[in-house]
Amino acid sequence: MASKRPLLRENIHRLFDEAVSTDLGPGIVSLIESRATHAQIREVPVERILPNPAQPRLSYEEDSLTELANSIREHGVLQPILVRPIGSQYELIAGERRWRASRLANRESIPAIVVDFDEETALEVSIIENLQREDVSPLEEAGMYRKMTDLGYSVRQLAQKIGKDKGYVENRLRLAEAPAEIRELVSVRKDTISHAYELMKLTDDRLRRRLAKRVAAGELSLAKLRAITGGDEGEPVATKGPRRRARTMAGSLAAARHADDALVDTKGKLASAVDELVDLLRHPDVIEQIPDVNRSNLAKYLTITRLKLENAIAILRAGLAE
C-alpha cells in the first residue's frame, strides 16, 4: 500500500488541477492528497447527498441562499462540492450552501468531487473549509477551533493551518468556553466581540450578566466597560514623533505645523476622555458596579495620570520661562 501512495497522490493532485473551478484551499487539497484512498469528479444526484452531521456552521442566511439558487438556475453550479461515499449515498463535506441552493433550484444533480476517507479527515476538511469563509460568525469560528483542538491540533498548529495569529486563536477558544450570557451577546451583536473579552475578565456572575444586558442594549461603550473592568485600551496612546528634517526654514515651519496639529489633536482627545470619564463616574449605579479592587486600581491609575499631567505642565512652564 505504501508504494501506491505517491501514485495515488499524483492522481488526486491531477484531479484537483482538472477541477480548476474548485474553491478548496491548498491546505485542504494537501490534506486530501495525504489521506484519501480514492477520488473522482462526477455528477451526483442531489437527493442522494446527506448533510454532514458534524457540520460546524450553525446557520445560513436565507436571502443569500435564494440569490445563489437563482444564480444556479441561470448558470448552473460552477464549483463542485466535496462529498464522500456512504453506502449508496454521499455525505457532504464541503459546499453545503451550493447543495442547499441546488435543492432550492430543483436541480436533479450537482457536480461533486467524490473522495473516500475517514470521518476524522472529513471533519477536519469541513472545519478548515468553513474557517476560510468571510461570513463565519465569531461563535461559529470559536466552536470550530474547539473541535480542531479536540482532534489533536495544538493552538500553534491550528494558527499555522488557517493562517491566523496564535493570540487570535487563543481568544476565540476563550469565547468557546465563555459564559452563556456572553455567547448570547456575541450571537445577537457580532460587533461586541471586544466587549465580550472584557466581560470575561469579571468573576462576579451577577455583575457580568447585568453589564452584558447593557452592552446588548447599546447602553455601554467599550471605553466605559473598560473603566468598570479595569482593562486597558490596548491602543497606542502616543504616535511616533515626526521624522528628523533637514534644518531649513521650510523644514522647521513644516515640523512646527505638524507638532501644533498633533498637540491640538491630542489635547482634544484628552479633554474628551476626561469629560467622558467624569460623566461616567457621576452615575452612582456605575460606581456600585465597579468591584473594590478595580475601583482601587482605577484610583491609582488616575493618580499616576495626574502626576504625568503635572510633569507636562512643568515642561510647558519651563519652556515659557526660557
* Residues annotated as part of the active site: 96
Chain centroid, CA 254 distance in Å: 41
The residue count for the chain: 322
Task: List CB contacts of 147: < 8 A, sequence separation 6 or more.
Answer: 54, 56, 123, 127
Chain centroid, CA 225 distance in Å: 21
Q: What are phi and psi of 51, to 5 degrees?
A: -65, 150
> Sign of dihedral through CA atoms 159, 165, 170, 174?
negative
Residue 197 to residue 177: CA distance in whole angstroms:
11
Q: Is 25 helix (H, G, I), strand (E, B) or coil?
A: coil
Amino acid at 155: V
Q: 56 with 139: CB under 8 angstroms?
A: no
Residue 288 to residue 210: CA distance in whole angstroms:
12
